[in-house]
Amino acid sequence: MSRRPRRSGSAPAWRRRTLLAGWLCAGALIVGRSFQVQVLDAGEWRERAELQHLDSEEIPAARGAILDRNGVPLVVSRERFEIAVATNELRASQKDSLLTILRDELKVPASRLRRVERAGADDREWVVLGSRFGPTARQRVRRFHGVHVTRMLTREMPYGDLALGLLGREVDGVWRGGIEQAFDEHLAGHPGREQKAMDNAGRAIPGQTVTLRDPVPGGSVTLTIDVDLQEISEDVLADAIAEHEARGGDLLVLDPFTGEVLALASIQQGNTNALSAINAPYEPGSTLKPFTVVAALEEGVAALEDSVDIGMGYWNFDGRALRDTHGSGVITFAEALQESSNIGIAKMALPLTPEEQYANLRDFGFGSPTGLPLPGETSGRLPHPEEWSRPTPQSLAIGYEISVTPLQMTLAYGALANGGQLMEPRIVRETTTASGERERFEPRVLRRVTTPAITREISEVLVRVVEDGTGTRAQLGPYQVAGKSGTAKIAERGGYGGQYFASFVGYFPADDPQIVVYAKLDAPRGGEYYGGAVAAPLIRATMEAALASRESPLSRARLVRSNRVATRPAASGEDLLDSRFVTTEGEPPAAASTADGARVPDVRGLTPRSAIRRLHAAGYRVSYDQSGPVIGTVPGAGSRLQPGDTVRLRVRGGGP
């Protein structure tokens, strides 16, 4: 049997069959994979393809505003847009239309317009037109190719660093301190989301942006703070610190019947961002003495008319040596409080049990937080009777071995002013959501701490403190002021050095109190360091400002009644706060009796806060609506006006 001869160069049959089978399998895999991709998984791949040309990003929500009691913005969020042009991306057919809008509607400077106009198709120039455009400008240019819009949200404080410690601020993207931190969730709002169509170079296609979810702006917070009083308080405190070379201080203004904080200023080591009024307790000294008197009257162990022998001004009791700077012999307890006798008040506390003395101070709010909704508040220290040593009752009676915060002391005097009720402090009047839902925070009485009869007795003595005692520098024209000074040594390194806390607390009008004012200077230097000398003038200056402020929280009608029953005539030169400022509510102040009036001072170049102080000191009310350097007044400097008339500030960037 003969074999068929094999052709030279031809492959064996098995190899051909193997190759054919391989091609068939590869083809089957390709067809199968194509079927899977184009039919079975078509939806998934279509979605992936679309996502490659779409970009989704978050739209930040505008943070809510913080307002003063009259709706004046203290902190606001502004939506601004930066508009820039990539000249090589501009379409020739749109260029003229874009330039017209930029010139006529957006008022872009001519120099920047020329850069856009002269750029050719091959020029790769990036022209920033501005970064302060509003939402309308954004809408007008979004449809143009080559125009890039960047949204920005800025947090602005129209009054600069006013009340900075109280308001709080952003630190490394986190809101720290004050209202910003305490009400962060309410102010923050909820971000939205938008989707952009992208070209093959990864750039957004103009006009191809869709908002998937609108951002919801944050709610607003309305404070009890009065912006005028806050400005004046900070200026008065800063001037006093500078004058007496003190290391810091605090000044508070409070409505005794509602617990509303009208002003809260703290400065420490030159830092206006401090909040020592609630987080830096101190030994108060003599400002605590009225509460020792209240305890004795409440428990019936003494009366103001009772006599006490203070000897020659020196008394050693259980190892505690007490001295009086003035007075000797037998005096009444009322005179002991008026003259701030350490010995007289310490002896008044002798019949009190530790439990009675402790309970009285505790009832007035000492030793526990006030509940003010701000982070960082401390409770101070009121030791329990189990911790007392033998001299502790007498130390507590005159304001030592206890630490209190300025806010606690202000609230305690508020209870003396309102007839014996300790109020919960309020710094927030209401919150409002973006949809307009309001939550109002109403005044709340914590407890009754004494009777109206006892507070009237105490107030009569505190009026004499201001009339004839250590607080004469707090006198306020024809109005009666009730108050008490305090001068306490500062404890350092386990002992007491040569520095002092100088403080004064007062309320007015004494017969119908409307505000309580607290002032303290830490370690004043120079010849004067007593509370009545360095702190009492701050009380007067602040009360004057409250009377003259443009949106005064005081009731003019009630002041008229108080002025009529005042028993002390105004001293010479003390007529600034007479009936010119005392009118019925809603009415303008009456003109002064002088025929020609006084000239408006020149306040050009000053800050609004400094200008306001100068105009208030001249007896005028002030109106203004934004911050910035003062460029004049309406009427102008030198014009003659009657004290009590309103002067409007003109600031750079403001109206005519």
pLDDT digits (tens, 9 = 90+) for 209-263: 666 777 888 899 999 999 989 998 999 999 999 999 999 999 999 999 999 999 9
Q: What is the pLDDT of residue 167?
A: 94
Q: 576 versus 631: which is more confidently predicted?
A: 631
Give the CATH fold of the 592-656 domain: Trypsin Inhibitor V; Chain A (3.30.10)
Q: What is the pLDDT of residue 560?
A: 73
Q: Is the dihedral of CA 403, 518, 555, 562 positive or negative?
A: positive
Q: What is the pLDDT of residue 48?
A: 61
Q: 295 versus 194: which is more confidently predicted?
A: 295
**In the predicted model, is pLDDT for residue 272 greater than 90?**
no
Q: What is the pLDDT of residue 578?
A: 34
Q: What is the pLDDT of residue 201?
A: 59
Q: Using DSSP, how many helices (H) and how many strands (E) does the chain show?
A: 21, 28
- Residue for token pair 């000239």: 599
CB crowding 128-163: b at 16 or more within 10 Å, else e: ebbeebeeebbebbbebbbbbbeeeeeeebebeebb
Q: What is the pLDDT of residue 203?
A: 60
How large is the average pLDDT for residues 67-94? 83
Tell me which DSSP letter residue 235 carries. Answer: H
How large is the average pLDDT for residues 635-640? 84
User: Which of 38-47, 321-330, 417-426 has the highest average model confidence (pLDDT)?
Assistant: 417-426
Q: What is the pLDDT of residue 597?
A: 65
Cα–Cα–Cα angle for 13, 16, 18, rounded to 5 degrees: 110
**In the predicted model, is pLDDT for residue 394 greater than 90?**
yes
**In the predicted model, is pLDDT for residue 365 greater than 80?**
yes
Q: What is the pLDDT of residue 335?
A: 93
Neighbours of 194 (CB within 10 A): 17
pLDDT band at 581 (very low <50, low <70, confident <90, very high): very low
Q: 209 versus 606: which is more confidently predicted?
A: 606
**In the predicted model, is pLDDT for residue 593 greater than 50?**
no
Mean pLDDT of all residues belonging to the chain: 82
Q: 638 versus 79: which is more confidently predicted?
A: 638
- Cβ atoms 73, 143 nearer than 8 A: no
How large is the average pLDDT for residues 89-96? 78
**In the predicted model, is pLDDT for residue 569 greater than 90?**
no
Q: What is the pLDDT of residue 206?
A: 56
**In the predicted model, is pLDDT for residue 490 greater than 60?**
yes
Q: Element (H or E) spanning 489, and its range?
A: strand 482-492
- Least confident segment among 145-159, 373-387, 565-579: 565-579
- Cβ atoms 487, 523 nearer than 8 A: no
Q: What share of the chain has pLDDT > 90, as a percent? A: 41
Classify domain 57-223 at the CATH superfamily level: Penicillin-binding protein 2a (Domain 2) (3.90.1310.10)
Integer Cα distance of 576 and 591 in angstroms:
12
Q: What is the pLDDT of residue 59?
A: 74
Q: What is the pLDDT of residue 79?
A: 75
**In the predicted model, is pLDDT for residue 410 greater than 80?**
yes
**In the predicted model, is pLDDT for residue 81 greater than 90?**
no
Strands ordered across the beta sheet of 646-651: 621-623, 646-651, 630-634
Q: What is the pLDDT of residue 585?
A: 28
Nearest of 390, 400, 323 to residue 350 by alpha carbon: 390
**In the predicted model, is pLDDT for residue 592 greater than 60?**
no
| Cis amide prior to 635 (ω within 30 degrees) | yes
Integer Cα distance of 132 and 652 in angstroms:
18
Note the CATH number of domain 227-590.
3.40.710.10
Q: Element (H or E) spanning 274, and its range?
A: none
pLDDT band at 656 (very low <50, low <70, confident <90, very high): very low
Q: 445 versus 214: which is more confidently predicted?
A: 445
User: What is the three-class DSSP state of 460?
Assistant: helix
pLDDT band at 352 (very low <50, low <70, confident <90, very high): very high
Q: What is the pLDDT of residue 173?
A: 75
**In the predicted model, is pLDDT for residue 103 greater than 70?**
yes
pLDDT band at 37 (very low <50, low <70, confident <90, very high): low
How large is the average pLDDT for residues 342-357? 94
Q: What is the pLDDT of residue 5?
A: 56
pLDDT band at 198 (very low <50, low <70, confident <90, very high): low
**Which residues 6+ apart lie within 8 Å of 367 measured at CB?**
361, 379, 380, 381, 382, 402
Q: What is the pLDDT of residue 91?
A: 79
- Cβ atoms 509, 562 nearer than 8 A: yes
What values do phi and psi take at 474, rounded to 5?
Answer: -95, 0
Nearest of 350, 340, 286 to residue 317 by alpha carbon: 350
Q: What is the pLDDT of residue 576?
A: 33
